[in-house]
Amino acid sequence: MKGGFYGLRAKELSLVTILLMCTTVFVLTWKRTPLLTPFPPQGGLQLTPVGLGKEKVAIAVEDFKNEKLGKEEIGNQVTENGKAKTEIEKTGNVKTETNDSEVVRTELEEKGKEENERRAIPTLTSPVQGSSKSSKIVSGNDLSLPINNKACNYGNGKWVVDHNRSLYSGFGCKQWLSGMWACRMTQRTDFAYEKLRWQPKDCQLEEFEGSKFLKRSASTSNSTMENKTLAFVGDSLGRQQFQSLMCMVTGGHERDDVIDVGEEYGIARAYGNARPSGWAYRFPSTNTTILYYWSASLCYIEPIDKLNPNTEYAMHLDRPAAFLVQNIHRFDALILNTGHHWNRGKINANRWVMHVRGARNTDKNIQMIWKARNLTVHSVIKWVNSQLPKYPNLKVFYRSISPRHFVGGEWNTGGSCDNTTPMSIGKEVERDESSDSVAAAAVKGTGVKLLDITDLSQLRDEAHISRFHSSTGSSDCLHWCLPGLPDTWNEILFAQL
């Protein structure tokens, strides 16, 4: 019994000793190598800017084949049952927010989101794809942006809230701004659309200053437009861009020193017309001229029978407007646009008859509105490009089409654009090519640059004149409030001059 007792006791002591040894080893191991954290290592995280995981939607652009829109100006926004058509494309996308009811964030919230996006952007050390030169990335207050803007695609980027906007006062710019476009002078009471700034994705968009545009600076012997002439030639959207630039350059203030030089360019109010065919103003301090000439189609138009007041007009699809031919040698910068007057209703109302090669067109194929427009755009740009060797300092831009946002009908059938919440459609654009394929194809391989504003403007349905311009009840979902979106077009233009 005694031997059995001590044998059992020895076994218990052995087990205790083994347990103590195991515990000691475990503790020593714990101190040297703690348990792995349940979180993945930071090096393995994939950092993605906010919003890149959301659905990308490309806004379909009207190719002008729909002639049912012929009773008023054709736009690139196709509508059906009050909702905008969209299509998924491989080439590029307009990014939209998943929460359509989201309102404009406060400045603090916006800065916080931009800070998150900035942290997610890697620093580039290799040459940027598509650029002949490498672009060094520097950290800024908003985003990490390349110093070299030469290869920048200004059409890619996002709208951000900027409480320092607008660039001028809608109340104060009466000298240059039409009252029907000055939304501050209408019944409109919300002006959040004035507080958005376009931020290109990969480059800086310099803040516009009228003094930089006109006056000498210490860093350069000449300013951007000193002793130069800038001309807008196009339709009423071109006129809006012209008025926007005049307000931006003057800061929206009265300028008694600015001279009306319209007569030098043959711009005068014809008898019986409500307004002249254009405007031209000169700033004597820098000898800078800014002008606009009305040419809705950009092609040469002449009366078929000059003695008949009811005559039809020959619309030469393959010849540029006479104003361009007569004055191109006087321009240093030229901005062209057309599009919204290319519909059957406008052509018939103006008694325009299509002509090609100097004779009435008999080609039924060309009679199709969208093909006639394409022919004119290509013909005008081809002619302008042929003039560039004669005037090597001339910079020419063709502005892509400005979108419309009629919902539930057209301008004369109850269509409206009542949204007043900025960025409710979306806030970002990322495309490889412009959605205005006609414009992009026309300038390709030429010395004419594309001023691509279509997609970034597509996101701004709240910035139209809307129903506030008149008491008739109709809505203007084609033109824009000023100050407003055309100011951004001019900022992008200024960056490329």
β-strand pairing of 259-260 with 137-138? unpaired
Residue 117 included in any domain: no
DSSP string, 65-77: --GGGGGS---SB
What local confidence, expressed as pLDDT, does residue 35 receive? 37
**Which of 5-9, 53-57, 417-421, 442-446 has the weakest average pLDDT?**
53-57
Rounded to an integer, the average pLDDT of 288-302 is 98
* Residue 236, domain member (yes or no): yes
Nearest to 410 by CA among 67, 24, 32: 67
For 76-145, the DSSP string reads SB-EETTEE-EE--SSEEEE--S-TTPPPPPHHHHHHHHHHHHHHSPPP-SPPTT-SS---EE--SS--E
pLDDT score, position 72: 40
Tell me what pLDDT residue 22 has. 65
Of 1-5, 47-51, 330-334, minimum mean pLDDT range: 47-51
Measure the CA–CA gap between 154 and 456, rounded to whole angstroms.
9
Q: What percent of the chain has pLDDT over 90?
A: 57
Does the structure show a pLDDT above 80 at 14?
no
Task: In whole angstroms, give the CA distance from residue 59 to residue 86.
Answer: 5
Burial class (CB in 10 A: 0-12, 13-18, 19+), 155: buried
- Examine residue 5 and state whether it is found in any structural domain, yes or no: no
**For residue range 30-61, what is the model confidence (pLDDT) as tens digits?**
544 443 333 333 333 232 333 333 333 333 33
pLDDT of residue 187: 86
Running DSSP on this structure, what letter comes out for residue 45? -
31 CB-near residues (< 8 Å, 6+ apart): none
Considering only residues 395 and 150, tell me which one the structure prediction assigns the higher pLDDT: 395
Read off the tokens for 94.
């307009």
Q: Is the pLDDT of residue 211 over 60?
A: yes
Q: Is residue 397, in this structure, part of any structural domain at all?
A: yes
DSSP alpha helix (H) spans, 341-396: 344-349, 364-367, 369-387
Is the pLDDT confidence value at 138 over 70? no
pLDDT at 465: 93
CA 340, 346, 352: angle at the middle one, nearest 5? 115
Examine residue 86 and state whether it is found in any structural domain, yes or no: no
In this predicted structure, what is the pLDDT of residue 219?
52
Phi (first) and psi of residue 25, to 5 degrees: -60, -40
How high is the pLDDT of residue 29?
A: 52
pLDDT recorded at residue 472: 66
Mean pLDDT confidence for 183-187: 90
Per-residue pLDDT tens over the stretch 224-268 = 789 999 999 999 999 999 999 999 999 999 999 999 999 999 997
Please classify residue 109 by burial: count the beta carbons closer than 10 Å to its beta carbon, then call 0-12 exposed, 13-18 middle and 19+ buried: exposed
In angstroms, the CA 436 to CA 405 distance is 16
Residue 269 falls inside a structural domain: yes
Q: What is the pLDDT of residue 238?
A: 98
Query: Which residue did the predictor score with more confidence, 385 or 18?
Result: 385
Residue reference for tokens 């892509």 = 400
At 122 the pLDDT is: 30
User: Mind listing the pLDDT tens digit for each residue in 435-463?
Assistant: 999 999 999 999 999 999 999 999 999 99
Give the number of C-alpha atoms closer than 13 A to the C-alpha of residue 307, restricted to the C-beta side: 0
Query: What's the number of domains the chain is made of?
Result: 1
Q: Round the average pLDDT of the chain to a whole number and report it.
A: 77
For residue 407, what are the β-bridge partners? 416
At position 23, the amino acid (one-letter code) is T
| pLDDT higher than 80, residue 185 | yes
* Dihedral, 74, 78, 81, 84 alpha carbons, nearest 10: -130
pTM over the 0.95 mark: no
Mean pLDDT, rounded, for 187-208: 92
Q: Is the peptide bond before 403 cis (omega within 30 degrees of 0)?
A: no
Confidence of residue 355 (pLDDT cuts 50, 70, 90): very high
Kind and range of the H or E run holding 2: helix 2-32
Confidence of residue 368 (pLDDT cuts 50, 70, 90): very high
In a domain, 298, yes or no: yes
Q: Which residues span the domain enclosing 184?
A: 157-212+222-495
Do the domain assignments include residue 308? yes
- Greatest Cα pair distance, the chain, in angstroms, is 143
Of 457, 347, 468, 477, which is closest to residue 412 (Cα–Cα)?
A: 477
Q: What per-residue confidence (pLDDT) applies to 97?
A: 41
